[in-house]
């Protein structure tokens, strides 16, 4: 059959709503880098003009033409070995979006997809199409599905009233002030236009969504939300780190085995819980400084841009400032923690570090320790909420910026013990902290708990356990763990475990 006819039949089989979503996923705002051709970002017209004309004319002609162009480009594309191009990235995104929406063209060359995945050095686990979907776009899709056409129309009206933001933007004028979003697929096109416009204007990204939340907050709840949804529910969905679908993220496990009883048990537990959470896992036993440098170099490869989060377990002996590696060399804990968050592939994504080692030799011994409760009173609670609001600063958009981000932002560091204190171990099972952390995370799958909630529960649980020294004089003591958070959103554990059996990948 003629290819033109095939493409036409394929487009005619796709509903308008799915066409709008396919366009949205295919014009993803953030492409991986470094890549050949990565400087050729999508033009303003390419990503927004088809949406604007579709909304204005109630006609999907321009979106159809865009999708035809993509298909033709991929049809003529020759995969070049060892050189990752922008088209490689676009091909994978297009395929994953089609797979997700169940509209894969029957004529799409899956062998090319497999060849591109080879260039990205993807493992069998990483060839799951769900890895290639951008989790932030999936959250935005869910927000769109939660809004009625009237709600999106109200967002549009609120956006149009911000004259400083829309001044001089031609696509805004194409749509006009008053919009009828009721025809099938038009609501989606208008919502996705608003999102891509705010992204291009550098007002929102995968972490900073305040500007979008404010537009939604101006909607009338009775007319704007689908059944069972509320404005608060929709806004709350934007305040979590986007980690939709499989995998939940990439997990790196580093464990020094030499001289650490139960270390293999630590590895087994952390591997089990990471896989249970739906993470793709890599383990390094007995790491050295060279190992760490090689891992950092590996994580800078383009394929890691597709991951939505990063977790690292580092288990070894240590003291207040450093950790002992397998060869006896020590590394500064601060150096380790500050070198990983700066890796570009995980920028604007949650990064969690579990640092499991002693941070000194002190023990919170129970024998002879007495503590007196202390209390303090003040009149802070007498301050009325209205008075507080009146004393607050009026922070305008002109003094806000989301372009520059401190490297440690979106990072959480969980310590197995507090500074200058021991981290307890069991002879056969290894770190007690690792054991309890894995148990609590496993128990809270599908409960909608956030990671920080679990860490707070872990702090309570661990501090109830009586431990004793394994050498020298018998001393009974307690261990206290804590965490430092630079999170800007909430990181929730996945509601559903995504087992390996669910994988649907391109042919090898």
Residues 458 and 331 in one domain: yes
| CB 457 within 8 Å of CB 380 | no
Percent residues over pLDDT 90 in the chain: 60
Q: Are residues 262 and 205 in the same domain?
A: no
**From 85-94, 264-273, 278-287, 374-383, the region with the lowest mean pLDDT:** 374-383
Which range (145-149, 154-158, 473-477) has the least confidence? 473-477
Evaluate whether residue 36 is within a structural domain: no
CB 444 within 8 A of CB 493: yes
**499 domain-assigned:** no
Same domain membership, residue 481 and residue 332 = yes
Report the pLDDT averaged over residues 112-131.
94
Check residue 314 and give its pLDDT: 96
378 within domain boundaries:
no
User: Where among 200, 215, 239 does a domain terminate?
Assistant: 239
Q: Is 376 within the bounds of a domain?
A: no
Q: Are 296 and 348 part of one and the same domain?
A: yes
What pLDDT is attached to residue 391?
A: 52
Instruction: Write down the mean pLDDT value for the chain.
Output: 85
Q: Is residue 262 a contact partner of residue 431, using CB atoms and an 8 Å limit? A: yes
Q: pLDDT (tens digit, 9 = 90+) per residue, 57-71? A: 999 999 999 999 999
Please indicate, yes or no, if residue 431 is contained in any of the structural domains: yes
- The tens digit of pLDDT for each residue in 263-309 reads 999 999 999 999 888 899 999 999 999 999 999 999 999 999 999 99
- Please tell me whether residues 270 and 229 are part of one structural domain: no
Local structure of residue 316 (DSSP, 8 states): -
CATH number at residue 413: 3.40.50.1460
- Grouping H, G, I as helix, E, B as strand and the rest as coil, residue 409 is coil
Q: Is residue 332 in some structural domain?
A: yes
189 and 323 housed in the same domain: no
Q: Are residues 224 and 272 in the same domain?
A: no
Three-class DSSP category at 169: coil
- Domain annotation covers residue 400: no
Residues 416 and 315 placed together within one structural domain of the fold = yes
Q: Where residue 374 falls among pLDDT bands split at 50, 70, 90?
A: very low
Tally of CA atoms within 13 A in the half-sphere of 292 that contains its CB: 25
HEC per residue, 325-361: CCCCCEEEHHHHHHHCCCCHHHCCCCEEEEEECCCCC
> What average pLDDT score do residues 209-238 get?
93
Expressed as residue numbers, the domain containing 210 is 1-29+43-239
Is 235 in the same domain as 272?
no
pLDDT class of 475 with cuts at 50, 70, 90: confident
199 and 151 assigned to the same domain: yes
Query: What percentage of the chain reaches a pLDDT higher than 70?
Result: 87
> How many Å apart are CA 83 and CA 132, to the nearest integer?
19
Mean pLDDT of 306-335: 94
Measured CA distances, 11 to 4, 50, 394, 430 (Å):
11, 16, 49, 57
Please answer whether residues 423 and 465 qualify as being in contact, where contact means their C-beta atoms are separated by less than 8 angstroms: no
Radius of gyration of the chain (CA): 26
Are 225 and 276 within one domain?
Answer: no
Same-domain pairing of 182 and 269: no
**Block residue for tokens 């979006």:** 97
């Amino acid at each position: 059959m003629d290819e033109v006819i095939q493409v036409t039949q394929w487009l005619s089989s796709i509903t308008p709503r799915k066409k709008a979503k396919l366009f949205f996923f295919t014009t993803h705002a953030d492409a991986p880098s470094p890549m050949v051709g990565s400087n050729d970002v999508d033009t303003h017209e390419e990503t927004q003009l088809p949406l604007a004309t579709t909304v204005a004319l109630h006609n999907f002609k321009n979106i159809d033409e865009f999708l035809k162009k993509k298909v033709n480009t991929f049809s003529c594309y020759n995969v070049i070995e060892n050189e990752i191009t922008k088209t490689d990235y676009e091909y994978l995104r297009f395929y994953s979006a089609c797979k997700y929406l169940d509209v894969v063209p029957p004529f799409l060359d899956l062998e090319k997809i497999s060849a591109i995945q080879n260039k990205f050095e993807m493992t069998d686990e990483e060839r799951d199409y769900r890895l290639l979907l951008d989790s932030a776009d999936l959250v935005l899709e869910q927000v769109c599905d939660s809004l009625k056409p009237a709600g999106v129309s109200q967002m549009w009206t609120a956006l149009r009233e911000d004259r400083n933001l829309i001044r001089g933007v031609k696509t805004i004028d194409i749509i006009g002030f008053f919009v009828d979003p009721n025809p099938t697929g038009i609501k989606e096109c208008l919502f996705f236009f608003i999102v891509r416009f705010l992204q291009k204007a550098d007002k929102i990204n995968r972490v900073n969504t305040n500007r979008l939340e404010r537009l939604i907050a101006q909607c009338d709840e009775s007319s704007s939300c689908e059944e069972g949804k509320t404005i608060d529910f929709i806004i709350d969905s934007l305040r979590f780190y986007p980690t939709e679908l499989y995998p939940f993220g990439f997990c790196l496990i580093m464990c020094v085995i030499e001289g650490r009883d139960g270390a293999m048990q630590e590895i087994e537990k952390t591997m089990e819980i990471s896989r249970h959470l739906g993470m793709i896992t890599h383990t390094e036993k007995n790491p050295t400084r060279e190992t760490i440098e090689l891992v950092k170099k590996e994580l800078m490869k383009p394929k890691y841009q597709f991951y939505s989060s990063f977790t690292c377990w580092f288990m070894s002996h240590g003291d207040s400032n450093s950790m002992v590696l397998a060869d006896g060399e020590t590394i500064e804990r601060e150096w380790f923690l500050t070198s990983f968050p700066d890796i570009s592939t995980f920028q604007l994504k949650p990064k969690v570090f579990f640092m499991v080692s002693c941070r000194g030799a002190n023990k919170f011994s129970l024998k002879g320790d007495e503590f007196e409760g202390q209390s303090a009173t003040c009149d802070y609670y007498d301050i009325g909420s209205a008075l507080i609001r009146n004393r607050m600063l009026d922070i305008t958009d002109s003094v806000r910026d989301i372009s520059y981000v401190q490297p440690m932002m979106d990072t959480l560091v969980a310590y197995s013990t507090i500074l200058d204190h021991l981290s307890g171990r069991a002879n056969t099972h290894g770190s007690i902290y690792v054991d309890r952390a894995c148990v609590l995370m496993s128990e809270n799958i599908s409960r909608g708990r956030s990671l920080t909630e679990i860490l707070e529960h872990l702090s309570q649980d661990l501090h109830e356990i009586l431990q004793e020294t394994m050498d020298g004089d018998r001393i009974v003591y307690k261990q206290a763990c804590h965490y430092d958070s630079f999170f800007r959103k909430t990181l929730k554990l996945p509601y559903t475990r995504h087992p390996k059996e669910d994988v649907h990948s391109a042919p090898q």
